[in-house]
Structure 1
Amino acid sequence: MKTVEETAAELGLSVHTLNGWRVKGCGPEFVKLGSAVRYTDEAIQIFKEAGKRRSTSQTVQACA
């Protein structure tokens, strides 16, 4: 499992953005181990796949 910092780096995001998305419920699924937040490789891959598009005209649901 990956830390918030490792996951943010892999996704090309800041830790601040990833944390905000987690609070809003629109980032990758995560696991809480005590107070620690971790992301599985599978959850990260699913999140990446969900963002794939074939055209710039295809929309993606943004995290507002």
Structure 2
Amino acid sequence: MTDRDREETYLDQHQLAARWGVSPRSLERWRWQRVGPVFLKIGSKVRYRERDIAAYEQANLRGAAG
């Protein structure tokens, strides 16, 4: 583990669900479907790195069509 990993901010699925206004179950389904941000799974624990969430949000920005 690098120093950057130790300083990294992680969210669990409930925190990310609240941030995005979706249900934790949606995030579970997305993981199963292999969509959404990358995640870390250790045992039964699922965590999302803040930088991966930000990268996913940036990649999914959409402008007004018109």
TM-score range, shorter chain: 0.7 to 0.9
Q: Which structure is larger by alpha-carbon Rg, 1 or 2?
A: 2
Structure 2 gap segments, 5+ residues each: 1-9
Q: Report matched runs for 1:3-42 at 5 Å.
A: 3-42=12-51
In structure 2, C-alpha distance between the alignment counterparts of 1:51 and 1:19, rounded to whole Å: 19
Structure with the larger strand share: 2
Normalised by the size of structure 2, how large is the TM-score?
A: 0.76
**Post-superposition, which runs of at least 4 consecutive aligned residues in structure 1 deviate over 4 A?**
none
Q: Give the aligned residue type for 1:25.
A: R
CA RMSD of aligned residues (A): 1.4
Structure 1 gap segments, 5+ residues each: 58-64
Structure with the larger helix share: 2
Percentage identity across paired residues of the two chains: 33
The total of aligned residue pairs comes to 57
